[in-house]
Structure 1
Amino acid sequence: MATQLTGEQDGAIARAIELGKRQIQQEIADDRIPPTVTDFAKLHDFVDANEFDWPCEDDGEWNRLFPRTSAAEEDDFCEAANRIQEALGQWLTASVERNALLVEKLVEDALNAACLSVRDGLKVSAGDAVGVFFSGSQKEAFQTMFARYVLCEISWMAEDEGDCPAGA
């Protein structure tokens, strides 16, 4: 039977899950975790996932909500940590959202590289036209197309590793 936690503890767990998601996204965008990782345990091959800011902080909310001065309190802390890891594991498995920051960065880099290539090839010194052309729906269309391409490449990477989730 799962440990019964307070509403305040459940809220801290929910915030830790969201923080963990953002940290994983950043680690993927910073090229410390491959975009194909879909298993929480595999994170440890690349980073120390236990060092993410949740629940290992020295001061603050976690120590207040999950003191570890007795066996029962230690059980509550472990229950909270397990819930966080399980939620992050499910999110990694079922969500391409883990790659959102990476996709955003790669799409922006692609747009900048393409525009620079055109400007250099035409020997254009001012960037006024590119700023006007790639605004609104033109920029959105480029971003959508390249985001789909990036996700396709990630899917193929996962297939090559034998880790491709069904339907990716």
Structure 2
Amino acid sequence: MKSNIDNYCAQVCGGDQRGTGPACPRGIDVHTQLPADTVATPLTGEQDGVIARAIELGKRQIQQEIAAGRIPPTVTDFAKLHDFVDANEFGGLCEDDGEWSRLFPRTNDQETEVFCEAANRVQDALDQWLGNGTERNALLIGNLVENALNAACLAIQDGLKLNYGDVAGVFFSGAQKEAFREMFTRYVLCEIAMMSDPEDG
């Protein structure tokens, strides 16, 4: 249903708090005189490209932090990342030079507003992506499964008093190795699912 209100400025403060940015201190867009969140900031194709690349970079960075043990594999909320690392740096948002500083300068309130909206898009996308346990833990799972395979082969080789691993290298290749990976990936995901979030006590 369309609202009959077409000028919030007159009703909220009489239009005397415009300020210098795209929105007044009360959150009203100074151009449309409607709530600012109803007006999307238009971005260029180049800016959209930077955002897309930042999202992919942020995913890889989070995977690396999880694999390194700095972020628990159970975290599914972007806001909770701040408990373990400076999550604002994911995606390269805080770099002093590069694409973000060139395409999203912050020399005035309006430019800062555009930067914040772009950064929010990146972080919102990462927040949604964190809900996929297989993807966020992909690097951790890969490392764990590889270590498990090596440990299993070593145990057998030690038990047989072998000083070579050539047969294992041949045996666990192609379909055999993929079957092992699939089975142990499911096992790792099962263990992660049974873990409690650190904040849950």
Q: Could you state the TM-score of these two structures normalised by the residue count of structure 2?
A: 0.77
Q: Which moved more, 1:64-73 or 1:86-95?
A: 86-95
Q: 1:95 to 1:3 in 2, by over 3 A?
A: farther
The equivalent residue for 2:34 is none
The offset of 1:71, in angstroms, is 1.1
Question: What displacement does 1:159 show?
Answer: 7.8
Assess, with a 3 A threshold, how the Cα gap between structure 1 residues 94 and 2 changes in structure 2: closer, same or farther: farther
Give the superposition deviation at 1:93.
Answer: 2.1
1:60-82 deviations in Å (ceiling 9; x for gaps):
21111001111111111000111
Once the 2 structures are TM-superposed, how far is the Cα of residue 95 of structure 1 from its aligned partner?
4.8
State the Cα deviation string for residues 134-155 of structure 1 (Å, max 9, x = none): 1111111111100110011111
Question: In the aligned structure 1, how far is the partner of 2:41 from the partner of 2:131?
Answer: 25
C-alpha distance in 2, partners of 1:4/1:95? 33
**Are residue 48 (structure 1) and residue 86 (structure 2) matched?**
yes
Report the Cα distance in structure 2 between the residues aligned to 1:69 and 1:95, rounded to whole angstroms: 39
Task: Specify the SS of the correspondent of 2:93.
Answer: helix
User: 2:14 aligns to what?
Assistant: none
Question: Per-residue displacement from partner, 1:101-142 (whole Å, max 9, x unpaired)?
Answer: 000000000000000100011100111111111111111111
- One-letter code aligned to 1:51: E
Structure 1 runs (4+) deviating above 3 angstroms are 158-162
The answer to whether the aligner puts 1:37 opposite 2:78 as a matched pair is: no
Letter aligned with residue 189 of structure 2? L
TM-score (norm 1): 0.91
* TM-aligned CA distance change 1:6 to 1:92, over 3 Å: same
* Count of aligned pairs: 162
| Aligned counterpart, 1:152 | 190
Residue equivalent to 2:27:
none
Amino acid at match of 2:105: P
Give the C-alpha shift of residue 39 in structure 1: 0.2
1:101 counterpart residue number:
139
Of residues 11, 15, 22 in structure 1, which corresponds to 2:53? 15
RCO greater where, 1 or 2, for CA within 8 Å and sep 6 or more? 1
Unaligned runs of 5+ in 2: 1-38
Offset at 1:96? Answer: 2.6
CA deviation string 1:17-75 (max 9, x = no partner) = 00000000000011110000000010011111123352111112111100111111111
Taking the aligned partners of 2:143 and 2:196, their CA distance within structure 1 comes to 20
> Cα distance 1:160–1:27, how it changes in 2: closer, same or farther (>3 A)?
closer
Structure having the higher Rg: 2
